[in-house]
Amino acid sequence: MWAYLVRRLLYALPILMGVNLLTFALFFVVNTPDDMARMQLGVKRVTPEAIERWKVERGYDKPLFFNESAEGGAQLTDTVFFDKSLRMFVFDFGAADDGRDIAREIQQRMGPSLAIALPTFVLGLFVTVSFALMLVFFRATPLDFWGVVVCVAMMSISSLFYIIGGQWLISKIWHLVPISGYGGGLDAPRFLALPVVLGVIGGIGSSTRWYRTIFLEEISRDYVRTARAKGVSELTVLFRHVLKNAMIPILTGVVVVIPLLFMGSLIIESFFGIPGLGSYTIDAIQAQDFAVVRAMVFIGSVLYIVGLILTDLSYTLVDPRVRFE
Amino acid sequence: MIEHGFETVVLWTDACFFLLLGAFAVGALHAWRRPHLRRSWARVGERPAGMAAMVVLLVFLLIGILDSLHFRAALPPTAGQTETVYATEVTSVLDVVMHRQRTDVERTYSAPLATHAFVKETVELPDGGQRRDFPRLVHGGAHLEDAAQDHGADIASHLMRGAAVGVGLSLLAAAVLSVFNGGVGRLIRGQTQLAWRSAWLTWSIVAVVAGMLLSLAQGYHVFGTDKVGQDVFYLTLKSVRTALMIGTLTTLVTLPLAIALGILAGYFGGWVDDVIQYLYTVLNSIPGVLLIAAAVLMMQVFIENHPEWFATAAERSDARLLALCFILGMTSWTGLCRLLRGETLKLRELEYVQAARAFGVPTVRILLRHVLPNLMHIVIIALVMDFSGLVLAEAVLSYVGIGVDPNMASFGTLINAARMELARDPMVWWSLAAAFVFMFVLVLAANLLADVVRDAFDPRAG
């Protein structure tokens, strides 16, 4: 298994390199640093000196790939590509436009992001899988039909409306929880309750349908019929046989997103004013802070690759046939 | 507004949209000629949900088409002028139809069907004094002598007239449908082969609702007005085009990429497969929103730095919409590509493909004649299923600030503007409600159609 892990990690390197090159091309080749400077400084105040100052402040004044004026190894290291792209591999992201260190900022903001994303994920998984199992238990009855109708209707509502509606009803009309904000310690649940609940509700429609399809596919197999034929009760069939065997497709979709939970949710965090990575990203996008967006892209793909490896490992837990040789 | 002539303008998105419609028509004709394809589409039409969804989508499509026929109106000629001068503003046929809603701008917020403004202003009294009161609207209900007394009755009469037109249209449709389906009885009892009853019922509802809305819109702001006094009903209808564009034009990028790369990877294997797999793993491993955000940021910089490329504001926001479609396409072809690769791997080993290869049929011919047609069901399912997701994505992206141009009417910009108004007391809810209803109906119809299409085309579904 260790050999497998090492191989997978080595395989991840070229992919990260590709991500790196892609973002580098997007941020520095499509538009030159001069263009970015002009955009950020606004059209009115643009002078060549201002552009130069903007570039020096951010370290964009160096050549892209090859520095002819430097000596020896510095010819390759004293470049934008090395500074801004390759340094990401050691999680050195440089400073944001407000001068703060991006890596430290990310560390601080992971906590609040996880505080929302983890409960949403766990609760959402539990609710949708239970709901889907219930629909499958009552399959081909009016309950199943209307359950699917409700799911399709819920899928058709933009997540923005869930949040806006929830904030309006629960915070503004019923005054149950504060509309937005974040507090640590004992105060936290008051602030977290609403975003978590809304996050779960927003995901019910599509996830339930997805799990229902998986379960229905599993329930039509021969072993299930055999189990019923030997007198196993329907509930036991569902939990002992169907749920267990449906774990592989479920894990394929679910484990991948676990590491990405660190990234938080863009929309929920910005609506509720939670100082997590999601709102950090949104603020950076709106302020056009290119360094932060680049850093988030890189971290996102690292976490995604970790998720892929975790998915493979999780198969060994639920399916004894899967082994890594 | 067009009494002095006009000059047609074809924006880039219009051209792509009509190109796509044309391709769709060719595809439909092709499917009509092949019995097995016709059978699949007939299965879609046999399901009531499928027919209902198609009627709703066609109505939205009609709005989108009307709003995609652009032109520039000629200005009234002045003395001594030899050439016609055209307005810089690009207008669409929908703008002409909704001329009244477009130009009847209030000062600021007003509630749906209101006759008085939503916020108090200082009103000059006839005796020279001043008072804080809700002033009469400039356009909404301006035809009423006594707003307080006649308001209800006037609305009711508008509703009756609209409903009457709607019922008329419904009866007309019933008459046409019965002619083609062997009598009214069969239509109403649902004994037609395709689910025409469901289509007719949906059409009736749409016609009555649309009739009432349009009739009310002749005297009032049906969905109220927004902060700068624009008619929300008009803005909502304009948003339909944006949503349709995002949902359909994206496929112009995804389909060629996914089909070409998927088939190549699956059929040739080896290093071609490795390269293509590497490509989509890289793209896939970047979380979608972030990749889109990065690309849109760069596009903004690019558009900002090349103002000379865009003559009018409409062209500029149009370029941005098209670029957004391309970016969404570049980030979303990977899923379909992987599916097609897997299916091609299976097809490659089938006897008839092997036979074709043994007979020395050129590879290109094998791919086009034997592989591609057997992948089309996957492509069609993916196409229909992606549509609703893209419409929803547009709203979120525009909310985040990386969607369409802020000046372009879209569901996302409507919601974004309305969000701030929720904090007001009393609340300004109407633009949010209008965006919600229209978006919900559009996406629900697309989701229902996607389900029916998947059932009809997926060979695995019984």
DSSP string computed for B3-62:
TT-EEEE--HHHHHHHHHHHHHHHHHHHHHHSHHHHHHHHHHHHSHHHHHHHHHHHHHHH
* DSSP per-residue codes, B388-399: HHHHHHHHHHHH
Instruction: Name the strand (E) or helix (H) holding B124.
Output: strand B121-124
Contact between chains at A281 and B290 (C-beta distance less than 8 A) = yes
Strand order, beta sheet including B91-92: B6-9, B70-73, B91-92
Contact between chains at B297 and A155 (C-beta distance less than 8 A) = no
Q: Which residue has the higher pLDDT, B298 or B459?
A: B298
Q: How many domains does chain B fold into?
A: 1
Instruction: Calculate the average pLDDT of chain A.
Output: 85
* Per-residue pLDDT reduced to its tens digit, A64-92: 777 777 776 666 677 777 777 777 787 77
**Res. B424: pLDDT tops 90:** no
The mean-pLDDT minimum among A68-72, A100-104, A161-165, A278-282 falls in A68-72
Residue with tokens 């004992």: A186
CA distance B307 to B314: 13
pLDDT given for residue A43 in this prediction: 63
Of A161, A172, A297, the CB nearest to B286: A297
pLDDT given for residue A91 in this prediction: 79
Is ipTM beyond 0.85?
Answer: yes
**Res. A324: pLDDT tops 80:** no
Instruction: Calculate the average pLDDT of chain B.
Output: 87
**Res. B172: pLDDT tops 90:** yes
**Cβ B241 vs Cβ B98: under 8 Å:** no
Contact between chains at B444 and A153 (C-beta distance less than 8 A) = yes
**Cβ B216 vs Cβ B383: under 8 Å:** no
> Which of B8-12, B87-91, B310-314 has the highest average model confidence (pLDDT)?
B8-12
Q: Which residue has the higher pLDDT, A103 or A172?
A: A103
Instruction: Give the confidence band of B15 by pLDDT, cuts at 50, 70, 90.
Output: very high
Amino acid identity for residue B128 in this structure: G
Contact between chains at A35 and B302 (C-beta distance less than 8 A) = yes
User: Best interface-test mutation with A: which of B298, B431, B452, B455 has the largest number of A CBs within 10 A?
Assistant: B298
Domain annotation covers residue B370: yes
Domain annotation covers residue B323: yes
Contact between chains at A294 and B400 (C-beta distance less than 8 A) = no
For chain B, the 3-state helix, strand and coil shares in percent, each to the nearest 5, are: 70, 5, 25
**Res. B125: pLDDT tops 80:** no
Domain annotation covers residue B221: no
Stretch A222-237: mean pLDDT: 90
Instruction: Give the confidence band of B462 by pLDDT, cuts at 50, 70, 90.
Output: very low
Q: Which is nearest to B328 in space by CA: B241, B378, B386, B262?
A: B386
Pairing of strands B70-73, B91-92: antiparallel
> Which of A78-82, A263-267, B57-61, B292-296 has the highest average model confidence (pLDDT)?
B57-61
Q: Which is nearest to B220 in space by CA: B212, B228, B335?
A: B212
> Which residues are registered as beta bridge partners of B91?
B71
Whole-prediction pTM: 0.91
User: Best interface-test mutation with A: which of B56, B289, B415 has the largest number of A CBs within 10 A?
Assistant: B289
Q: Which residues of A touch B286 (CB under 8 A)?
A: 19, 22-23, 297, 300-301, 304
Count other Cβ atoms within 10 Å, centred on residue B460: 6
Pull the structure tokens for residue B340. Answer: 């097609």
Q: Which residues contact A232 (CB under 8 A, 6 or more apart)?
A: A240, A241
Contact between chains at A19 and B400 (C-beta distance less than 8 A) = no
Q: Which is nearest to B55 in space by CA: B180, B209, B207?
A: B207
Q: List phi, psi (to 5°) of B390.
A: -70, -40
Look up the domain containing B318 and give its range.
232-457
Amino acid identity for residue A54 in this structure: W
Of A164, A288, A290, the CB nearest to B432: A164
**Cβ A270 vs Cβ A278: under 8 Å:** yes
Domain annotation covers residue B226: no
Q: Which residues of B touch A18 (CB under 8 A)?
A: 278-279, 281-282
Enumerate domains of chain A plus CATH numbers: 1-90 (no CATH), 105-318 (1.10.3720.10)
Pull the structure tokens for residue A179. Answer: 């509309």
Asked whether the bond before A142 is cis by omega within 30 degrees of 0, the reply is: no
Domain annotation covers residue B83: no
Binding-site residues on chain B for chain A (CB distance < 8 A): 278-279, 281-287, 289-291, 293-295, 297-298, 300-302, 304-305, 388, 392, 395-396, 399-402, 411, 415, 419, 422, 427, 432, 436, 439-440, 443-444, 447-448, 451
Domain annotation covers residue B276: yes
Query: What count of Cα atoms within 13 Å lies in the side-chain half-sphere of residue A313?
Result: 16
Count other Cβ atoms within 10 Å, centred on residue A278: 26
- Longest pairwise C-alpha distance within chain A: 84
Contact between chains at A293 and B281 (C-beta distance less than 8 A) = no
| DSSP count for chain A of H helices, then E strands | 17, 0
The enclosing domain of B436 has a CATH number of 1.10.3720.10
Q: Which residue has the higher pLDDT, B241 or B89?
A: B241
CA distance A33 to A20: 17
* Per-residue pLDDT reduced to its tens digit, A163-185: 888 888 888 888 888 877 787 77
Q: CA of A287: how far to CAs of A180, A279, B144, B183, in Å?
A: 22, 12, 48, 64
Closest CA of chain B from A200, distance in Å: 17
Q: Which residues of A touch B279 (CB under 8 A)?
A: 18
Amino acid identity for residue B198 in this structure: S
Domain annotation covers residue B35: no
Closest CA of chain A from B313, distance in Å: 17
> CA angle at residue A266 from A160 to A119, to 5 degrees?
90
Q: Which residues contact B50 (CB under 8 A, 6 or more apart)?
A: B44, B195, B448, B449, B452, B453, B456
Locate the chain A residue with the closest alpha carbon to B285.
Answer: A301
Contact between chains at A39 and B304 (C-beta distance less than 8 A) = yes
Of A15, A19, A156, the CB nearest to B388: A156
